[in-house]
Amino acid sequence: MSKLSDNTLSIVCILIGMTIFSLQDVLIRILSDEISAFQILFIRSIVGTSLLCIYLKYMKIPIIFSSYYPMLTILRTILFLLGFALFYVALANMPFAIATSLFFTSPFFVTVLSKFFLKEDIGIRRWLTVGFGFIGVIIIVDPNLKGFNYYMLMPVLCALAYASAMIMIKKTSDKDSVYSQTFHFYLMAMILCPIFSLIGISLGFQNIDNRAMDFMFRSWDFSLNNNMLIMILIGTTAAVAFVFTLNAYRLGKPFIVAPFEYILLVWAIIYGRLIWGEVITFRSYVGIAIIVVGGIYIFYREKINEQNLSIDKPLR
């Protein structure tokens, strides 16, 4: 197969993967008034583990339970879980497109962290791009004391946690394959989600008067009803989307594939408008555009410098 057709197929895969991820986000928001965020992550992990094992068996890829970096694996899982729990809270309490766009600050965080933890050479152009990107964040968040919305910090914190986890993956990928790392994440998530929930409840974080705390730490419900079916569907969409995005990066050049992840923003705008009637202000569109342009330029500079920091793994 030619390089052109490989890259074309990879673009098709990433568009499909991101479209499926956008459906997952819609389903999470639908459940946000009734189901705990940590229970959603727990069921997602069970379904993801099951489907991943089936896929690995079909592809004749060995399932490896042990990790060469157990402590980093645990820390990476904690960062993922806490980060995406915050992101789910943001999805439930602010416009879809805003939450999604703020998460796309993760390439900027990866760039900064790679300088300090991976000792990568980051030139002045990328430093300026990082600053430019965060100007977009400031424009969206509009941090004045009178109207500040603290929910807007949650996708940014998720992006920081995600970027930190990506740096750990850079450290561990020399011995643990991407499939092994995903499998280990699902296993650890099944263990840690109930622990996080119990700790939150024991510390009194279960508070129906606080939407964020209520979503994260409300009691779990395992009734065989529509909510359980939706949670299973969330796990299924996550696993299927992961396979498509991973194959996109396997088939195509990362700097070609990565910019197409921003199709997620287009879907977020569409779903927010059609399902919940959300209207994005011109100011927010300007901020979103700055984040997108900055992110794509980061990918471009990494290609020029033959570095794969932000773009050799999918952003979700």
Choice between 6 and 39, residue whose per-residue pLDDT is larger: 39
> Is pLDDT at 109 greater than 60 in this prediction?
yes
CA 296 and chain centroid, separation = 17
Map tokens 């980051």 to a residue: 122
CA atoms within 13 A on the CB side of 245: 27
Q: How confident is the model at residue 146 (pLDDT cuts 50, 70, 90)?
A: low
pLDDT in tens, 10-27: 899 999 999 999 999 999
| Sign, Cα dihedral of 168, 173, 174, 175 | positive
> Is pLDDT at 1 greater than 50 in this prediction?
no
pTM of the model: 0.90
Per-residue pLDDT, 270: 96
> Is pLDDT at 272 greater than 70 in this prediction?
yes
pLDDT in tens, 194-219: 999 999 989 888 887 888 899 999 99
Question: Which burial class, exposed, middle or buried, applies to 279 when counting CB atoms under 10 A from its CB (0-12, 13-18, 19+)?
Answer: exposed
Contact 122, 283 (CB under 8 A): no
pLDDT in tens, 37-94: 999 999 999 999 999 899 889 989 899 989 999 999 999 999 999 999 999 999 999 9
- What's at 18, amino acid-wise? M
Question: What mean pLDDT value characterizes the chain?
Answer: 88
Per-residue pLDDT, 196: 95
Per-residue pLDDT, 243: 85
Choice between 214 and 146, residue whose per-residue pLDDT is larger: 214
Per-residue pLDDT, 43: 97
Share of the chain above pLDDT 70, in %: 93
Per-residue pLDDT, 215: 94
Q: How confident is the model at residue 148 (pLDDT cuts 50, 70, 90)?
A: low
> Is pLDDT at 309 greater than 90 in this prediction?
no
> Is pLDDT at 2 greater than 50 in this prediction?
no
Per-residue pLDDT, 117: 83
- Tell me how many degrees the CA angle 57-61-65 measures, rounded to the nearest 5: 90
Whole-angstrom distance, CA of residue 70 vs CA of residue 241: 26
Most trustworthy range by pLDDT among 55-69, 108-122, 224-238: 224-238
Element (H, E) at 304: helix 282-304
Per-residue pLDDT, 143: 63
